[in-house]
Structure 1
Amino acid sequence: MKLNFEHLQSAHCENGVTRSLLKNIGINQITEPLAFGIGSGLFYVYIPLLKINNGPVIAFRPMPGLIFKRTCNALEIPVVRQKFSSKQKAEAFLNDCLNGGHPVGCQVGVYYLTYFPKEYRFHFNAHNLIVYGKEDDNYLISDPVMEKTTSLSTYELERVRFAKGTLSPKGQIYYPQTGALITENQIKKAIVSGIKKNVREMLNIPFPFVGVKGIRYTGNKIKQWRDKLGLKQAGLYLAQLVRMQEEIGTGGGGFRYIYAAFLQEAYTYHPIDELLEISKMFTESGDLWRTAAVQAAGIYKGRLGSQEDFNTMGNYLIEIADIEYKAFTALKNIKWQ
């Protein structure tokens, strides 16, 4: 049982799953940047009281599945989405989907993904992939961050679909139902709604550790980590930041580059010059996120370690917050036609 499915490599897993599943039902206009932007994919939260892999929870994306859900909702595409308490029911539902001709998105943990390089496997349960068939005891896998398709045995797929810990997937499965072709007007409206939601989430959530405020909050905290935590623990915290930023989901610089590309594509639907200028701001922010990652790596690998090095790292995030505040404020003030 192998469905007619085209594997497409992407920069980010859930963007790629969204684009590929929509393309599979005949919706070809949605690129990865459009999926990311319509799905309001930019986010930031720093929660020091919660720990994952012995470091604070730092997230550069909304909850798993939200990009897919928001994109489909904005385009008025009905979706099927389900979680399970029973592994047997989860497997049966997956098989029913495949027998019905539906490739499906699955949320999984990466620690037991056998085709991932070992250095990329750790306890992180917000990865997304597509199952598009089954041959003997192997499920056929299209993982958007991989160059080629692969496969997982029934046991291996069950293991990652029911990974334990923070954001446990609970067998989550989803796919878009076949619908009518999407019009240009629908895409135009979806772009505006996606931008407005992202503006609210990055500017208006009233907590200091969320959105643009959260980036600035983290920058100020980093300046205190060396004295408060000690050099070793502070280095581990920075390693956590870089892992979540660059190794899982391209969260820091990568997301900003994708969002910059989204605004450029949005310009083809809404020829408003400000969109191109704001796109440049997000590219600038992406460059700074990458620079900050290099600084953080120097600290946790022991090449750097003075208080001034921590101050420099914190100031990078504060500068990023300033740029993104200006960018989202500019988006907020656009007069949509």
Structure 2
Amino acid sequence: MSHIIQGFVPYEGEHCETTAMGNLLQFAGIRLSEPMLFGLGEGLGFIYWDSKNMDFPFIGGRVKTDRLSARIASRLNLTHRVQETSSIEKARKNVQSCLEHGIPVGLKLDSYYLDYFTNKVHFAGHYAVIYGMDEEYAYMADTRQQGGRLKTRLDRLAMARNAKGPMSSRNLSFTIEYVGDLPPLKPAVRSALSQNAHDFLNPPIQNAGHKGILKMSKEILKWPSRSKNFEHDLCLTALLMERGGTGGALFRNLYRDFLNESAELLEDSKIKQACLMFERIAPMWTAISSLIDDAGKTGSFHNLEQASRLLLEIADQERTAMELLL
């Protein structure tokens, strides 16, 4: 039984969750840039995540998974309908039922299992949209990096949806629908800016927000003793920071572009000032990932010391920029 939404046009994006929401919104007739979606979702964050059961620390530059989509929908006054189930069969039926009604569905997946992912790393916080299925394949819309419109076998999709581990959910799927009119964009943007700044400046734990960047500055010097496979761990960390669906510079490029759009929309000099700061901050993050990559390839401790000093500067700059946005 084949259910494929005809004429589905993929939304072009760099980051998986904003691209998934972009696909659902575009299908509903709402077209916003990816930086605008990232900003409305209060997407900018920082986490230095390390625990005993992890091979190596995880560095994240955005808010927790699932939160971005929910906030975008809330800011745009849309219903964000989420379904979770531990049953693989019920999960399939949830999606099939939407496709039968011509509604594309957002999915949360472990990208490792998807046929079209060539870089086989377990990451259970990946988002994509399904717009059709037949007896054998699921027809997917994913990021520009993956190729836009793609297909994967249904059994592989089931495994990707049902995966366990960090950031995973129980076969999570989501759709959006109109509640009423879209709210005016200006107040939505202003509110998203100040809320994101507040959350970044007041992290609930010491390894998040600007405090987390300070923590990373200390912890990075301990990495040689923390790692069992130095080259692999550092080169993978650098790759994820710069190219792992972040839009570059650990999401700072996306946020810089959002601030640029916001400054023009709101004609606000403080936002413009913060934007200029992020224009300087973004290349610093790219330099950090490059130093980490070089340290992995050469085993040089000097590169980590350099990265540590640069992180102190970034923490100070980002705190100042976010204070302008409060």
Name 1:215's counterpart in structure 2: 213
Q: What's the CA shift string for 1:172-217, capped at 9, x where partnerless? A: 100101344424x2x2122122112211221112422111110111
Mapped partners of 1:87, 1:133: distance in 2: 18
Look up the match of 1:159: 159
Aligned to 2:312: 318
Task: Give 1:82 shift.
Answer: 1.1
> How far is 1:234 from its partner?
5.4
Task: Give the equivalent residue in structure 2 for 1:335.
Answer: none
The reply to whether residue 15 of structure 1 matches residue 13 of structure 2 is no
Alignment gaps of 5+ in structure 1: 333-337
Distance apart, 1:41 and its partner CA: 0.7
Matches within 5 A, 1:230-309: 237-250=233-246, 253-302=249-298, 304-306=299-301, 308-309=302-303
Question: How far is the alpha carbon of 1:20 from its aligned partner?
Answer: 1.7
How many Å separate the matches in 2 of 1:286 and 1:64? 22
CA displacement at 1:235 relative to structure 2: 5.0
Percent identity of paired positions between Structure 1 and Structure 2: 27
Distance in 2 between the 1:248 and 1:35 partners? 18
Query: Which residue identity is paired with 1:98?
Result: L
Measure, in 1, the Cα distance between the counterparts of 2:312 and 2:278.
15
Q: Secondary structure at the match of 1:245?
A: helix
Q: In the superposition, relative to structure 1, how do residues 258 and 219 fare at CA in structure 2: closer, same or farther (>3 Å)?
A: same
C-alpha contact (below 8 Å) 1:51/1:57 kept by paired residues: no
> C-alpha distance in 2, partners of 1:251/1:299?
23
Using the size of structure 2 for normalisation, the TM-score is 0.92
Letter paired with 1:107: K
CA contact (8 A) 1:98 1:133 kept: yes
Contact 1:84–1:170 (8 Å) recurs in 2: yes
* Structure 2 counterpart of 1:123: 122
Counterpart residue type for residue 29 of structure 2? G
Q: Which runs of 4+ in 1 moved over 3 A?
A: 178-181, 232-241
Which TM-score applies when normalising by structure 1?
Answer: 0.89
Distance of aligned partners of 1:305 and 1:67 in 2 relative to their CA distance in 1, 3 Å threshold: same
Q: CA deviation at 1:283?
A: 2.0
C-alpha distance in 1 between matches for 2:154 and 2:233: 36
Structure-2 separation of matches of 1:84 and 1:34: 31
Q: Please say if residues 274 and 324 of structure 2, whose CA atoms lie closer than 8 Å, have aligned partners that are also in contact.
A: yes
**Cα drift, residue 238 of structure 1:** 3.2
User: Does structure 1 conserve the Cα–Cα contact (< 8 Å) formed by 2:112 and 2:123?
Assistant: yes
Q: Within the alignment, does 1:47 sit opposite 2:45 as a pair?
A: no
How far has the Cα of 1:279 moved from its partner? Answer: 0.9
TM-superposition CA deviations, 1:102-142 (whole Å, max 9, x none): 1010010111121112xx22111111000001133211100
RMSD, aligned α-carbons: 1.9
77-86 or 244-253, which deviates more: 244-253
Residue in structure 1 matched with residue 98 of structure 2 by the alignment: 97
**Contact 1:202–1:212 (CA under 8 A) maintained in structure 2:** yes
